[in-house]
Amino acid sequence: MGGGARELAGYLAALAGWVAALAAAVLPQWRQSSYAGDAIITAVGLHEGLWMSCAAQSTGQVQCRLHDSLLSLEVHIQTSRALMVISLLLGFFGIIVSVVGMKCTKVGEEDPVTKSRIAVAGGVLFVLSGLCTLAAVSLYATQVTYEFFRESTIPINARYEFGSALFVGWGASSLSMLGGSLLCCSCPAKERRGQQYHRQSQPSTSRQYV
């Protein structure tokens, strides 16, 4: 795979990862009611996310409510919120920077070394964005797992388990880090050596007079 095709594939993968991370941050299904156990004790399915909680009744009606207070939220929810916001901001800047640095764009064609460095910077931003998404989703999943398996008087089919947004977040982090890694393969050192060799190999047109 050529350098330009590799950069384009990395950019598309990272862009898809950023869109998936945005969807994961907005979705309320970070944790949902567990249906484990012998019997379902409620006809209402509960879903909770970073920004709202929803109740889906057996009739198909869904009611959602935003979290009322920021300070009253649990620590893992506030931390996951902050990490997802940072991830989206890093990914947004990565999208802009990568477009400037990719070989298939016309911006900065006169300086390919600097252009490659910009592409690498965009790849680093995407990798950091993926790491933030991974940290946010994994932290939330760890808390859900702890609350599910800890000793409690709450029946097992009234507890919470992983929601679909967690799996979307894990996929988003994988795509972002994969795309960022492909963009980071645009190493400017090789191009710099090639340019120096090209300049040295050109015959000198000037004459020296004694």
Give the model confidence (pLDDT) of 126-170 as tens digits. Answer: 999 999 999 999 999 999 888 888 766 565 666 788 889 999 999
- Tokens coding 85: 């916001």
Q: Which of 61-65, 89-93, 197-201 has the highest average model confidence (pLDDT)?
A: 89-93
Predicted pLDDT of residue 198:
44
| CATH T-level fold of 3-28+70-187 | Butyryl-CoA Dehydrogenase, subunit A; domain 3 (1.20.140)
- Tokens coding 196: 């120096």
Give the model confidence (pLDDT) of 175-189 as tens digits. Answer: 999 999 998 886 655
Q: Which positions ≥6 away from 36 have C-beta within 8 Å?
A: 156, 157, 161
- Tokens coding 163: 């929601």
Give the model confidence (pLDDT) of 94-136 as tens digits. Answer: 999 988 877 777 665 667 778 788 888 999 999 999 999 999 9
| SS3 (DSSP) at 31 | strand
Comparison of pLDDT for 19 and 7, the residue scoring more? 19
Comparison of pLDDT for 200 and 169, the residue scoring more? 169
**CA atoms of 7 and 47, how far apart (whole Å):** 39
pLDDT for 62 beyond 50: yes
Predicted pLDDT of residue 3:
65
Percent of the chain with pLDDT over 70: 76
Look up residue 197 and give its amino acid: Y
**CA atoms of 188 and 192, how far apart (whole Å):** 6
